[in-house]
Structure 1
Amino acid sequence: MARMKFICDAERCIECNGCVTACKNEHEVPWGVNRRRVVTINDGVPGERSISVACMHCSDAPCMAVCPVQCFYRTEEGVVLHDKDICIGCGYCSYACPFGAPQFPGQGTFGVRGKMDKCTFCAGGPEPNGSQAEFEKYGRNRLAEGKLPACAEMCSTKALLAGDGDVIADIFRTRVLQRGKGAEVWGWGTAYGTQSKAGA
C-alpha cells in the first residue's frame, strides 16, 4: 500500500499562498486555523527560500505518542488523522508537533478552544466517506474520490507535491538532477545525505 507524503520544492515555491487558499476554501476551515501555511526562511536576504508546511503525516508521529485519549490514528495509506469526537482539546499534540500542524480554533470569548484541527491530506475522518458529518468535521474527502489534496493540485509552479512517497521522492530527485545542483539544493543534505552527486 502506498504511503502518502508531501514534499515542497523550495526552488520552485514562489510564496503565492495558493495552497493555503485552496485548503481553506476546499474544507471550509474554521477561522483562526491554517491547516497549511507558507514559511519564508532568510526573508529579504540572499538565499531566501519559501516552503509550504502542513502536517507531514509522520511515520512515528509525536502527536500520536502524547495524546492522552488516543484520538489519533493512521490509515492504511499512512495518513495521520484524528477523531474530533474523542479529542478533549488538551493541546499536548500542538506542543509535540515540530511542524505546528495541530491547531485549535477559537470558539468563544476569552480564547476558549474547541477540538483540535489539522491537515487531513484531504482524507476526511472516521465518519463514512463523503458524508455530511465527515465534511462538517474534517472537510472534503478527496482521497476517497481518487484525487490528490487540493493544496498540491492548486500549486501553480508544482512546488508542492503530494501522493505516494516513493513516486514524489523520485520526481523531486529527478528535478534536482536536471538542475545539476545535487547537494547544493536547499534541504537535499537532510533528505538524501551529504554526497555531492545524487547517484554516487
Structure 2
Amino acid sequence: MSRMKFICDAERCIECNGCVTACKSEHEVPWGVNRRRVVTLDDGVPGERSISVACMHCSDAPCMAVCPVDCFFRTDDGVVLHDKDICIGCGYCSYACPFGAPQFPTNGTFGLRGKMDKCTFCAGGPEAHGSEAEFEKYGRNRLAEGKLPACAEMCSTKALLGGDGDELAEIFRTRVLQRGKGAEVWGWGTAYGGGKPPAAKTEAGKS
C-alpha cells in the first residue's frame, strides 16, 4: 500500500514560490491562508537554503492526537485530512503541528477564527469526489483523477516531490549519491571540479 509523502530538496529549491502560487490557484485557497509556503533558512548568510513547507501528512500526526473533536482522519494512502463540518476552530492542531500547517482564515477586523484549513495533498475531503461541496471546502481532488499534487507538478527544478514515500526516498537517495556527501557537497570540489584549494595544498607542501 502506498504512503503519500512530500519531500523538498533544499539543494534544488530556488525560492520561486511557484508551488505556493500553484496551490492557491488550484484550490482557490481562502484569503489569509497559505497551505504551502517557502521558508528561507540562514537568510543572507553563507549556506542560505530555502525549503517548501506544508502539511507533511505524518504517520503519527500530532494534530490528530490533540484534536478534541477528532475531525482528522487518515486515508488508505496515508494522507491526513480533516472534516470541516466537525472542526470547532479551537486551534489546538495549529499549536501541535511542528510545520505550522493548520491555519485559520481571518474574518473581520479582529481576526476571528473560522474552520481550520490545511494542505490536503490534493486529495479533497470527506465529501463525494469531484463534487461542488468538496471543492468549496477542500479544493480539487487531483488524486482521484490519477494526478499528483499541483505544487509538486509545478516545481520547475523538481525540488519539491510528492508521491509514494518509498519512491521518493529512492529518488532522493540517487540524488545524494550523485552529488556526493558531507561538507564536500558544497565544498571546493563542487565549485571547482575536485581537489583541495591552493592554500591547503601549499600548507601541505610546507609540512
TM-score by length of 1: 0.91
- What is the CA deviation profile of residues 78-133 of structure 1, one whole-angstrom value per residue up to 9, with x for unaligned ones? 00000000000000000000000000001233211100000000000000000000
Quick one: which amino acid aligns to residue 124 of structure 1? G
- Tell me which residue corresponds to 1:21: 21
Contact 1:176 1:182 in 2 (8 A): no
1:139 aligns with 2:142: no
- The change in CA–CA distance for 1:183 and 1:66 in structure 2 (over 3 A counts) is farther
Deviation at 1:185, TM superposition (A): 6.1
- Rounded to whole Å, the distance in 1 between the matches of 2:98 and 2:109 is 28
Percent identity of paired positions between Structure 1 and Structure 2: 90
- Tell me which residue corresponds to 1:95: 95
Contact 2:35 2:117 in 1 (8 A): yes
Structure 1, unaligned runs of 5 or more: 187-200
Bigger radius of gyration: 2
Quick one: which amino acid aligns to residue 46 of structure 2? P
1:84 aligns with 2:84: yes
- The count of residues paired between Structure 1 and Structure 2 equals 186
- Rounded to whole Å, the distance in 2 between the matches of 1:59 and 1:183 is 31
- Tell me which residue corresponds to 2:181: 181
- Rounded to whole Å, the distance in 2 between the matches of 1:62 and 1:185 is 34
Contact 2:27 2:138 in 1 (8 A): yes
- Tell me which residue corresponds to 1:162: 162
TM-score by length of 2: 0.88
Deviation at 1:182, TM superposition (A): 5.2
- Rounded to whole Å, the distance in 2 between the matches of 1:26 and 1:124 is 12
Contact 1:33 1:105 in 2 (8 A): yes
- Tell me which residue corresponds to 1:149: 149
